Structure formats: structure tokens, C-alpha cells
Amino acid sequence: MTFETILYEVSEGIATITINRPEVLNALNMQVLRDLLAATELVRKDPQSKVAILTGAGRSFVAGADISQMRGFTVTQGLEFGDLGHAVLRAFETLDKPVLAAVNGFALGGGTEISMGCDFIYASTKAKFGQPEVSLGIIPGFGGTQRLARIVGMNKARELIYTGDVISAEEAKRIGLVSELYEPEELLSKVRERARLLMSKGPLAISAAKRCMNKGVDISLDAALELEKQAFAALFGTEDQKEGMGAFVEKRLPSFLGR
């Protein structure tokens, strides 16, 4: 399948999705969001894709939304754009496979938001993060007011969103937004190493853990613990559990099949 605004490649179980509008620093417009949604569905349906990596072409991850398109939006169009952005992030979050963001440059506005929909954010030492929407007379519209606070805490999220400050990759890691930093030239190779590590683990187990964590954060502790208990028990009915525990006892590496 070919796309208008992204590149899509699957190699050795890793699906790499590259936002490909380098001439505008990969700014998000309606077509980019539609392409991302379609690509995520490809990953979901493809048994050969075990892990997804999201990155950007050129010197930017996503420098924000395409202001030239947004400036003329009506309220209805703004809602449509927001709906599509939310759909993309929920697609990342509900994908039963890990999604890793490889942030190679600017991740501003919608760029920071898109990265927060991924399971992990790995960044170049030259990356920049921020939610500068208030400088444009709007607020984050793809979940930034909600996800940022959940990741870095309410006080820091308020500061970043109210001021629109742009922060360095080092600061993003310090506040817990970014998992790890790499030099620009080694970012993708290092993220692929992390992807291969994840692929060596039980895919059904990772999927269950992701589902429990994402659903559990917004419900009561008792309900979340019940969710975990049921998912834990269900995995004992899988071939992967037998393989994983058998390999441990037999002192060999497991060979998981995702069943």
C-alpha cells in the first residue's frame, strides 16, 4: 500500500512509519492524519509486524499542525481535525503491539501529542518538545491537555501548556516525557534495537500488559486490579505461557508464537 504523506516499510518484524513532508517539517494536515490512521490499521492486521516505529523524514519529527491549512478552519472543521487527531492517537494506544516514537528533531504541538500516543518516546539529543498552541490563540487539540499531565504531572504540564515553552531533549528526559536520548546519527538504529528486544518477549503478554495499563489508569484501583487478575489468568491458557516457562526451566531462550 502506498501513501501520499508517509513512508511505510516492514523489515524483520518492525514496521517503520515515517511522516514524509520534510519541506514543511512534517507538519500535520488532514491527509497526514488519514495516512497515519491507515498505516496503524496495516500494522494491526499484519501478522509479520510485531513492533511499530514512528519517525519523521529530514530534520523534524513533527513541527506541529499545518497552520496554513488550520488558519481558515470553522468551528466544525476544527472539530473534524481534532476528531481525526484523537483517532490516530487512540489507534496507537489501542494497537495490540508496541509503538515506539523515534523523535529525530522538532516535536512541537501536534508533534509532542503524536509522540505521547506511543508506548515509548526515544529522542535525538537535538530534539525539541513543546505545546506552543496558546501562542496561536488555541489549545492542544489532540489530547495534550490530558496526556501531558498524566506523564509529567499536572504542575509541569500547566507550565508547559500555559507558557508554550519549547524544551530541550535533555529537559524532556528529566521530566519523564522521554525514555532515552541518543545521538542523531544512531537514533533509528538504537530504537530498532529496543524494538528487537520487545520482539523477543511474549507478544500476548505485552499486549495484555499494555491493555491493562491503558485501561487501568482511568478506573478505580479495585477495578484495575481485577482487570489485571483476569488478564494474568487468561495467559495461562496460551501456548506462549507454556513456552516461556518451559524455556526458563530448561535454561534456553523461548520461541514465542503469539498463541
Active-site annotation, residues: 113, 133
> What would the grid cell of residue 209 be?
500488559
Torsion of CA 35, 38, 42, 45, to 10 degrees: 170
Query: What is the b/e burial string over 46-83, where b = at least 16 CB atoms within 10 angstroms of the residue's CB?
Result: eeebbbbbbbbbbebbbbbbbeeebeeeeeeeeeebee
Pairing of strands 60-62, 14-19: unpaired
Closest CA to 138 of 84, 64, 86, 87: 64
> What would the grid cell of residue 142 be?
489532540
- Distance (Å) of CA 246 to CA 205, 229, 252: 15, 22, 9
Q: Could you tell me which residues are beta bridge partners of residue 64?
A: none
